[in-house]
A = this chain, B = another copy of it.
């Protein structure tokens, strides 16, 4: 969706890298894990592997590759996530029931799509511009699903009383004492919000437009486990005055009393991680909190959540650099190590107080591909930044992630504002 077109070689390389990575990311799984779905929102790894292939097949191979032969026509419905414009979808809550196609059949499907895609990218084509743009989108799409694969499998493994590790090797760093949190101050004023430039962005980051910001301050690191524990200990989950009404109702209905994946055994503070059950270290950022929890914690702290405009402005002012899975070790957020380690990227997504709405003048892409972002613009909140399982290439100052305020299975944390 940007004018700049990467070279064919770069595009092919990015395609290969991303496609291979999806398979490699799952290498530690047992066969049964590939079909595991413990909640409607947590798709099985095998489904992610198939759906990302479906995306290339549906939006590139079928429209643009002459004589393309699908490996199985029924996959069109089976691996459609939510594109009504393409047709019917297999019910989302039943993805875990797809023991077939088997893993080897899905891997064959991937190879089939990869070969066809590489053929398509090689050939000359009247629609080369659209093909390139959509291939970039497909790559970015697959990287998003790589992140979801981590958070989904984490959620689904957590439903097993055996609490198996995704990758027992993935727990690297030693604990760091938390450093004191300070505040960065910003003047605001009439500023520009939204993407500008020549690289890739999603449609929801456009159009760039002016917004007026009053002066504000943002915390210079994320909230830690220790700070969040103090909120819990102070009766945070028992005091309705700290909570939005819908959040309070959610707590009561779901009996939430701590972040998702927090555990306690014999008085010991633990955390379920992708590396299995681990000590819950004070200095690491609290993660897997809902928007409601983030909001209540902020209120308890006599602070508030930032708006997405404030967050974006601050990142640009500070010149923060993207970090992510490919620049970190381990599959869990680490503590901020120094004053210049502000954790805008590479640790946790950060809840904002902004509802996910269209920018003034927003136009989704034409056709089914326009369902990518726009139709979700109600009832969700914007998160900004990126987590330890986001690729750094995706961690952009203008990227708008969005989830329902009750969602907790992403690596979502808290940055305070005031």
Chain A residues with a Cβ under 8 A of chain B: 30-36, 38, 46, 74, 77-78, 82, 84-85, 90, 94, 96-103, 156-157, 159-162, 164, 190, 209-212, 214, 240-241, 243-248, 291-292, 295, 353-355, 357-358, 360-361, 370-371, 375-379, 381, 405
Contact = CB atoms under 8 A, between A and B. Distances in A.
Given A376-B244, A378-B244, A94 B31 contact: no
Nearest to A404: B379
Contacts of A100: 30, 32-33, 157, 160, 162, 164
A253 to B, nearest CB: 13
Q: List the 7 closest A-B pairs by CB distance, nearest first.
A: A355-B355, A31-B31, A84-B240, A32-B99, A32-B35, A245-B375, A33-B99
Contact of A360 (B36, B85, B98, B214): B214
B244 A32 contact: no
Given A90-B161, A100-B32, A160-B98, A353 B357 contact: yes
B82 A245 contact: yes
Contacts of A405: 378-379
A100 B159 CA distance: 11
A377 B405 CA distance: 12
A85 B379 contact: no
A324 B161 CA distance: 38
Contacts of A101: 162
A297 to B, nearest CB: 15
A361 B215 CA distance: 11
